Amino acid sequence: MRDPHPPSSKVAYLSAKEILRRFEIGDLRSIEVIDLLLSRVEAIDANDSKVALNSLAALSDDARYVAKERDDERARGVVRGALHGLPVLIKDNIEAPGLPGIAGSTALLGRGTREAALVTRLRDAGAIVFGSTNLSEWANIRSPRSTSGYSASGGLVANPWSLDRSAGGSSSGSGAALAAGLAPLAVGTETDGSIICPASLNGVVGLKPTVGNVPATYVIPISTSQDSPGPMGRNVDDVALLYGVLSHSAAPDSVPTPTFAVATTWRTGHPQTDQLFDDVVASLRESGLSIVEKEAALPGETEALDEGAVLFAELFDDLSAYLADRPGDGVRSLADVVAYEDVHRDREQIYFGHENFLTSIMSGGRAGGLYADARRRNLEWAVKTCLTPALADVDLLIAPAFGPSWKSDLVVGGSPGPASPVTTAPAIAGWPILSLPMGLIGGLPVGLAVVGRANSEWTILDGARRIERVVHQRGPMPLPSWLPASRG
């Protein structure tokens, strides 16, 4: 296997802010970064490479042209915005001209793409849309047996820490590509856990913003009430930089030091992960942060059933409306997708079916009999029973996110490993949540989750920055180890 960390990787693993600094002093140019990343993609990501990380769905044909344009502009003293000359990857359920935007499904191959509002914001800020990332097909909503990181169009994404381990989902490729040094910044999407999971499993930082704070126009939907695109990067500062562009917002001049509560009931059940979290919390207290302990309500069977009823109903309405509006010929509704996948089952249903799509169609959408009461109960539990009491008198909740990555298994199905319930209430409420690395367990990264009230992203980012500083004092995160597949 080629060395995934040759001398050139020193540039590939630079932070976005350090790359910008080098641009400013003339020590680095955008075209140099793009060319290095292109050679890196060929060596460690493409299907014919020795490693075949498989994190990318497509590369932009104009990346080198745009990089030269940004370099020329900077030489003339023109800087478009906060991301001028930086390459950014977008998840392949986000539309952008020249990229597939197919959510991993062959049903959308060849359909025209428009420019998502968030992509326009990236370009206006001077970013180079470098390519799109593979994902769990249809953002992991199609089947209860789906394997995170697998799609019919893109295959299975590997985890650069250990190639037989899951990269999480559904923003699998975004997390893996960042960890592998294929771009400094990426955009994922989350309905419930789809940014937090791959961030935790790949040892990167991911933020799901408050629903609505980043536009979801021309992003293939699951649920209007829970979907949110969000920034991902290798450190908190870079995620804050990207969030400011995506949300059209700026960090306040000063943020009071946030207060924290440990959500004592939100544990992963993985002894080593939970112990590491406790050790990090002890170090945070020693650093002077105010941390109390709170019990946060646990989701039960009713909450899970209600969330499913809401998601399936909204999927029926929202995805069908999206497909009917998408340019080009092809599937125009969720029922059309099911029919297409039945005809093309030898490609689309090799490992699992579309049971959840059938449930969604049977729901009747928002007009169906289950939706209204399920949504009301879900919101009441998430906001009134869980989050509001747990956040009383503090700014942020913290908990372990996921245990170490599990082995990908297309035969058995998803088989996700240990996870805390930290994503559930924020997902239902549409409130923000972030994951950042807190260390390694058995050579695999695990994340620490930070939850805040609606529209508290800048407080979350400030709190995460303080946590990150303490975690790094305990020992900096190494580069991914690229362990080969193993038995056991």
pLDDT above 60 for 2? no
> What is the pLDDT averaged over residues 224-250?
98
**Would you state the pLDDT for residue 243?**
99
Give the tens place of pLDDT for each residue, 132-153. Answer: 999 999 999 999 999 999 999 9
Looking at the chain, the number of H-run helices and the number of E-run strands are 17, 15
What are the residues facing 66 on neighbouring strands? none
Give the tens place of pLDDT for each residue, 164-220. Answer: 999 999 999 999 999 999 999 999 999 999 999 999 999 999 999 999 999 999 999
pLDDT above 90 for 262? yes
Give the tens place of pLDDT for each residue, 433-447. Answer: 999 999 999 999 999
**Would you state the pLDDT for residue 52?**
86
> What is the pLDDT averaged over residues 39-64?
89
Higher pLDDT among residues 415 and 15, named by residue: 15
Give the tens place of pLDDT for each residue, 57-111. Answer: 999 999 999 999 999 999 999 999 999 999 999 999 999 999 999 999 999 999 9
pLDDT above 70 for 3? no
Ranking 251-260, 261-270, 432-441 by mean pLDDT, the lowest is: 251-260
- Could you list the active site residues? 91, 170, 194
Q: How many other CB atoms sit within 10 Å of the CB of residue 72?
A: 12
Which stretches within 166-267 are classed as H helix? Answer: 172-179, 196-202, 236-247
> What is the pLDDT averaged over residues 313-334?
98
> What is the pLDDT averaged over residues 301-329?
98
**Would you state the pLDDT for residue 349?**
97
Summary mean pLDDT of the chain: 96
pLDDT above 80 for 414? no
Conformation bin of residue 230: beta by default, left when phi > 0, alpha when psi is -120 to 50: beta
Token couple for 17: 């802010």
Confidence of residue 284 (pLDDT cuts 50, 70, 90): very high
pLDDT above 70 for 25? yes
**Would you state the pLDDT for residue 109?**
98
pLDDT above 60 for 116? yes
**Would you state the pLDDT for residue 342?**
98
> What is the pLDDT averaged over residues 302-326?
98
pLDDT above 70 for 309? yes
Conformation bin of residue 175: beta by default, left when phi > 0, alpha when psi is -120 to 50: alpha
pLDDT above 80 for 5? no
Give the tens place of pLDDT for each residue, 372-395. Answer: 999 999 999 999 999 999 999 999
Give the integer Cα–Cα distance in Å for 198 and 298: 22
**Would you state the pLDDT for residue 413?**
78
What domains are there in the chain, each with its CATH number? 9-258+422-474 (3.90.1300.10), 302-373 (no CATH)
pLDDT above 60 for 275? yes
**Would you state the pLDDT for residue 51?**
67
> What is the pLDDT averaged over residues 267-273?
98
Give the tens place of pLDDT for each residue, 328-344. Answer: 999 999 999 999 999 99
Write down the pTM of the prediction.
0.97
Confidence of residue 49 (pLDDT cuts 50, 70, 90): low
CB 170 within 8 A of CB 229: no
DSSP secondary structure string for all residues of 76-133? TT---STTTT-EEEEETTB--TTS---TT-GGGTT------HHHHHHHHTT-EEEEEE
List the one residue out of 348, 323, 434 whose CA is nearest residue 95: 323
**Would you state the pLDDT for residue 472?**
97
pLDDT above 80 for 350? yes
pLDDT above 90 for 463? yes
Establish whether the linkage from the previous residue to 170 is cis, with ω within 30° of 0.
yes
